[in-house]
Amino acid sequence: MRQLIPRLLIGLLGAGVVLCGPFLGCHNPANSSLPPSAISHSGTVVPPLPKGDVYADETVPTSETPIETGDTLEVVIGRGAGEEKFSSVVRENGKVSVGFMEVDVGGVTAAVAESRVEEAAVPYMHKPRVQVLLKKKVLKVKRVFVFGDVKKPGMVPMPRHMTVLQALAAADMYQETALMEEIRVIRGGDLAKPHMLMADLARAFTYGDLSRNISLEENDIVFVPREHLGDASEAAKKIMPVISTAIVPLYPAFILPALLK
């Protein structure tokens, strides 16, 4: 019996090594299973990120540019030798305030808006002369969505030129059970036939190969899958009852917890 116990302990230790092998998901997600020869040298150069996630989208309007909600109109009304200046933001109903007047300018050009403001001012002014300057400057926050085996799934603000790696960093990175070689990026307006892309960050962490670190677009969905068999702790929960059953006849009950730690 004394000779049997050391052999059993050695067997259990050996089994522990096997249990923490790749078959039960004990792995480092940042290690690639591909050989170094799999490095791709034809990567896409990613421009540097701008400061901040919110940026000003400024469009230079033309004579055909329609007026939209959030646009700023600078209106100059001349009468006689003088003039009055007004600046107002177009509201959601398409109307803009010019002094005490409410004028509907939604969807029309600056030239049409001039005539509408002039018509509204005629009852109050003699031969008004109206000029409308359209300014488009809207603060926009783009976004992507990160789900799967990450620490903080959900919506992530998107700076320009964002990549999958940066999206994962914004989601507080990945769990230990993440499958970094098969990250899915779901893209595209047709929900019935979305465009699926595959990103591989394991090779980036292992070899510094960023060729599969995909650049994202607004409203992309990044999904990080999980290893099928779970992590070491989950494997331990399944195997410990088997080990305890094997060694209970050999050890007193009060020694068992110490051996299983």
The yes-or-no answer to whether 36-46+141-224 and 55-140 have a common fold is no
Task: Report CA dihedral (30, 51, 141, 145) to the nearest 10 degrees.
Answer: 0
Architecture of domain 55-140: 2-Layer Sandwich (3.30)
* Amino acid present at 211: S
* Amino acid present at 184: R
Residue positions counted in the chain: 261
pLDDT in tens, 67-99: 988 889 999 999 878 889 999 999 989 999 998
* pLDDT tens track, the chain, 261 positions: 445 444 544 454 444 444 444 444 456 776 777 776 665 554 444 444 444 455 555 566 788 889 988 889 999 999 878 889 999 999 989 999 998 999 999 999 999 999 999 999 999 888 899 999 998 766 667 889 999 999 999 988 888 789 999 999 999 999 988 999 999 999 876 667 778 899 999 988 898 888 889 999 888 999 999 986 544 555 555 555 555 555 455 445 444 454 445
Q: What is the pLDDT of residue 32?
A: 73
Domain boundaries in the chain?
A: 4-25+231-260, 36-46+141-224, 55-140
Architecture of domain 36-46+141-224: Roll (3.10)
* Nearest residue to 130 via CA among 91, 81, 89, 74: 74
Backbone dihedral region for residue 118 (phi beyond 0: left; psi -120 to 50: alpha; all else: beta): alpha
Task: Report CA dihedral (53, 68, 131, 77) to the nearest 10 degrees.
Answer: -100
Are 150 and 36 within 8 A, CB to CB? no
Cα 15 to Cα 11: distance, rounded to the nearest angstrom: 6
Owner of token pair 């400024």: 58
